[in-house]
Amino acid sequence: MSLTTYETPVLEDWIDYNGHLTEGYYVLVFGFATDAAMDALGLGPDYRQESGCSLYTVEAHVRYLQEVAQGARLRVRTHVVGVAQKKLHLAHEMFVGDELVATEEILGIHVSQADGRATVLPEATAASAAEHRISPPVWVGRAVRI
């Protein structure tokens, strides 16, 4: 089961010298989608404040599939593709209308901010992540090669 985690229009300031969405803003939008996924899975602001723990992105892989113009409306759909004791593996898909324009795969580690060490995910979060888990899309796990 996927989560629609973030929607936004492409702002004028996000457009580069080539006339389309610059790469850094794809990552910004995916970051907001990760935040929304954290909220949906029980790792939101209240949890972070009370527990002193958070999810840190330790690896990411972005694919830019289509150019995106100013004013386009972006919608990100997020999938949980893996969950382990201290880790979440998320796959974001960015759409303009029904067209897939970019993807991002991230590995997040649940970290205690008190000591900076990885720590076990809360049971409720692990259960929610497992409930939302899907088989990974075909693009997950790819490496960059020439």
pLDDT confidence of residue 3: 82
**What percent of the chain stands above pLDDT 70?**
99
Average confidence (pLDDT) over 31-58:
96
Per DSSP, the three-state class of 146 is coil
- The full set of domains in the chain, from first to last, is 3-132 (3.10.129.10)
Task: Give the number of other CB atoms < 10 A from CB of residue 145.
Answer: 4
Tokens of residue 143, six digits: 């490496």
Determine contact, residues 144/105, Cβ cutoff 8 Å.
no
Whether residue 4 has pLDDT greater than 90: no
The chain-wide mean pLDDT, for the chain, equals 95
Predicted local distance difference test score (pLDDT) of residue 108: 98
Both tokens of 113, joined, read: 């901010």
Euclidean distance between CA atoms 37 and 139, whole angstroms: 20
**Count of Cβ atoms closer than 10 Å to residue 143 Cβ:** 5
% of the chain surpassing 90 pLDDT: 94
Span 46-80, pLDDT tens digits: 999 999 999 999 999 999 999 999 999 999 999 99
Distance CA 86, CA 113 (A): 14
pLDDT at 2: 81
